[in-house]
Chain A
């Protein structure tokens, strides 16, 4: 836990039981540790979750399974936090992974619809806007979702948006944070951990990062009563990618952009990078967000400064 988060939140974030879907992942684990002291939390995840706090019940199931419906039928769950679209560790084909993710989330929306859930928080990502040459420097929540290859993430985000209109009485919140740093497995954080860091020659876009603890705080705030809608989240002021790499004390490995996709395979095999090919454009064009709505609506304000947020890339157990 970082210095800026030494002051723990003592108040409850939400009056009823909160189900966290995807809690066995790295970020889920962190979120549950920050919430379980003040709130009633249960965990739903197809993965094992052995390192959970003792007072947290874990349901090892996929959302689309019958067992999960029972959790909602009898568990008195009043809020759901869905952490991203994928939770299974099974190695499946991309198409079936996609189908599973969509099916799971639509089932979750079904449970929210039927079993008196009052609040649904989806942790999406600012990456759903897509990194494109025509992007304005800061995208607002109204910008179209143009990411083409992030598979289920964008679709899940859009499903949550339509659910917003289907059940206006349920407070649906979609959070779209910038690249998350910390012990979590965010795409950018994982990418920045390799050394040297692969970059695109002649391109140096501005990058927004957000510390995982700031994201936890944002989720806590979004759980409060009355907040609904889509919210972008960003951390400290943005920096050029090259500066971030410099501040981490790493070297860059510049490759020509037109060869990047071809070089990614060999570089990945050599362990030189772990960048997903879908994210190459994020090293080329800006994809940054305007987060004033979150700041004014539920009082979000990042506690971690530039140094702390960048250094968090290296928190890795």
Chain B
């Protein structure tokens, strides 16, 4: 055996043992996930499903059975795939509350991660009711899937009713403009809608600003084919970097997510003030989110850990 052959053998051995240890690590991580996370999750979901009547769905169509299946998948993404690190979850009070976050990443994984954090991390698990745009109910399957998992159309009537029931709302006031951003606009907060602030003023519910770091990089989007979107009836048709890899390119990059729940913000004013006045208050929330986001970005060492 000459030297070069021996070197090849050595490197193959190394590669094999590395793969083995990786599989081992992965296997034990999965076992731990099953043993620790899923059992805990069942108990936490029971707190939520106990509030549902005997008919098995709440008036908005949320079904604890469907929620459980989604939560299992979501907790895998939360713990294993995006390895979410969450701080400040104890800032979320009981009772009616409006959670406001920055929006990015083409698919609303940020919403899923915030919802999962509220179920899995808080002392008392809560189901955040995400508020979605009015095109969502027109999409088959997605509309039903959303409704079964507690996602609700974001009309003022729905929001008021949910807050009256003491629930937690999750809104992304940047809307589509935020989630469809391309990489050149990463971490530039878009214009915030005013609806959530009017709700807070009308109900006195506190606002929890949340910053999400990581979502911007899951689908680094180079271009958005808006004109094609108009033809096929989709709000956006993004072209993202990993698309060059077949099949796997559809998956988001396994970036590390950092969530920070800020302190409750209380606002008192007339909820029928003119837009200019309300947008000043909205700016307070926007600045709070932006500050947290900048802090997190400064502390981040790498995209992936």
Contacts and interface: CB of A to CB of B under 8 A. Distances in A.
Interface of A: 133-138, 140, 200-204, 206, 236-240, 243, 256-257, 285-286, 306
B246 interface: no
Contacts of B142: 202
Interface stretch (B51-59, B99-107, B111-119, B279-287): B51-59
B158 A136 contact: yes
B140 A201 contact: yes
A136 B132 CA distance: 12
A239 B57 contact: yes
B120 interface: no
Contacts of B140: 200-203, 256-257
Interface stretch (B149-157, B268-276, B289-297): B149-157
24 contacts: A133-B134, A133-B136, A133-B137, A135-B153, A135-B155, A136-B156, A136-B157, A136-B158, A136-B161, A137-B153, A137-B157, A138-B59, A140-B157, A201-B141, A202-B139, A202-B141, A202-B143, A203-B140, A206-B61, A236-B55, A237-B55, A243-B56, A257-B140, A285-B137
Contacts of A240: 57, 61, 63
A135 B61 CA distance: 14
Contact of B59 (A134, A140, A237, A243): A237
Closest 8 CB pairs of A and B: A202-B140, A136-B157, A202-B141, A133-B137, A136-B155, A134-B134, A204-B144, A133-B138
B135 interface: yes
Interface residues on B, range: 20 to 34
A286 B143 CA distance: 11
Interface of B: 53, 55-57, 59-61, 63, 134-144, 147, 152-153, 155-158, 161
Given A203-B144, A206-B59, A239-B57, A134 B153 contact: yes
B53 A136 contact: no
Given A201-B140, A202-B143, A203-B144, A137 B135 contact: no
A238 B52 CA distance: 13
A243 B158 contact: no
Contacts of B152: 137
A306 B54 CA distance: 10
